[in-house]
Amino acid sequence: MGMTFLAGFIAIVGPPNVGKSTLLNRLTGSKLAIVSPKPQTTRNRITGVYHGDGYQIVFMDTPGIHKTHTALHRSMVASAQATFNEVDALAVMIEMPRPEDPGIPIVLSNLRRAQKPSILVINKIDKGHRERLLPIIDTYRQRYPFEAIIPVSALTGDGIERLLEQFKSMLKPGHPFFPSDMMTDQSEAFWVSEIIREKIYACTRQELPYSCAVTVEPAEENPEKNLVSIMARIHVESESQKGILIGGKGKMVKAIGQASREELEKFFRMKVFLDLTVRVEKNWSKDPRALRRLGY
């Protein structure tokens, strides 16, 4: 008789920019989700599978929950909120340096409605003194009956072992949902489009990244030439944004392409030819039909 296999779905939810995607990557040991210092980076739910000895956890990284302004925001927050109902347990993440956020009351009211086993993860404990933790823990204990409150640094890995033990204790007997060699269910084309979006967040300023969407054709591999060809498009909302994104002498889009290619070459372990074009899809973030075309 073998040991009973344990499995479960756990969502990582919280306000924008607290480090949810960084945690998903840390837990799975692989870069599945893009990360940036700007809020509202993640726009879709991202699945990452942790394969333990005798257990499996399917993590779901979600867009940060915030007050919504455009159709894009509504789609992002709706996808995060739907996840509350589709998982076995919830990991609510906040950050120690900034424990309050306008998104938190919305997160907590979703939590109360979902009635699922939940833990609080306090991230970024590498930033600032740990004495700051106690009052945060007190405040959150009064707000919701969390099963555990665990301080971590998704960046340095501090506290992650303890967090995994906690997650494991929340699993139920069940069959694995994913085969042991599968890390995610997202397509390669989606992942490539996200990497390009990450470089847009890194290379551009102010509101511009929020007006960009990226679509990618499935990559064409040519093993004889050790080459992958990728056609990608950046969609912006106006002609003036297109001008800024291309930049003088095409400098900006070249920088985005260069940074993307470096990361994609590591992933494919081949040379990458990246055909990156910019097109205007007028006010796409406010148009539900355009959103669907662009994957939101």
Ligand X SMILES: Nc1nc2c(ncn2[C@@H]2O[C@H](COP(=O)(O)OP(=O)(O)OP(=O)(O)O)[C@@H](O)[C@H]2O)c(=O)[nH]1
Interface with Mg ion, residue 42, by CB under 5 A: yes
Give the shortest CB-149-to-Mg ion separation in angstroms.
21
Please measure the distance between the N-terminal and C-terminal CA atoms of the chain and give it in whole angstroms: 46
Contacts of 253 (CB under 8 A, 6+ apart): 234, 245, 246, 247, 276, 278
Interface with ligand X, residue 79, by CB under 6 A: no
Cβ distance to ligand X smaller for residue 36 or 229: 36
Pairing of strands 118-123, 55-61: unpaired
Among 11, 13, 41, 232, binds ligand X (CB under 6 A): 41
> What are the φ/ψ torsions at residue 213 (nearest 5 degrees)?
-130, 155
Pairing of strands 220-222, 172-173: unpaired
What's CA 291's distance to the chain center, in Å?
Answer: 18
Among 40, 44, 81, 184, binds ligand X (CB under 6 A): 40
Interface with ligand X, residue 154, by CB under 6 A: yes
Interface with ligand X, residue 18, by CB under 6 A: yes
Contact range with ligand X by CB under 6 A, out of 152-160, 161-169, 228-236, 266-274: 152-160
- E strands along 157-238, which residues? 172-173, 213-216, 220-222, 227-236
Cα gap 72→83, rounded to integer Å: 17
Pairing of strands 213-216, 227-236: antiparallel
Among 6, 10, 13, 16, binds ligand X (CB under 6 A): 16
19 binds, among Mg ion, ligand X, none (CB under 5 to 8 A by kind): ligand X
Cβ distance to ligand X smaller for residue 37 or 179: 37
Count interface residues toward ligand X (CB under 6 A).
Answer: 23
Interface with ligand X, residue 73, by CB under 6 A: no
Contact range with Mg ion by CB under 5 A, out of 12-20, 98-106, 156-164, 192-200: 12-20
124 binds, among ligand X, Mg ion, none (CB under 5 to 8 A by kind): ligand X
Contacts of 233 (CB under 8 A, 6+ apart): 214, 215, 216, 276, 277, 278, 279
Among 28, 47, 81, 123, binds ligand X (CB under 6 A): 123
Cα torsion 231, 204, 98, 47 to 10°: value is 0
Enter the DSSP assignment of 294.
T
Give the shortest CB-32-to-ligand X separation in angstroms.
11
Q: Which residues bind ligand X (CB under 6 A)?
A: 16-22, 35-37, 39-42, 63-64, 123-124, 126-127, 153-155
Q: Which residues bind Mg ion (CB under 5 A)?
A: 20-21, 41-42
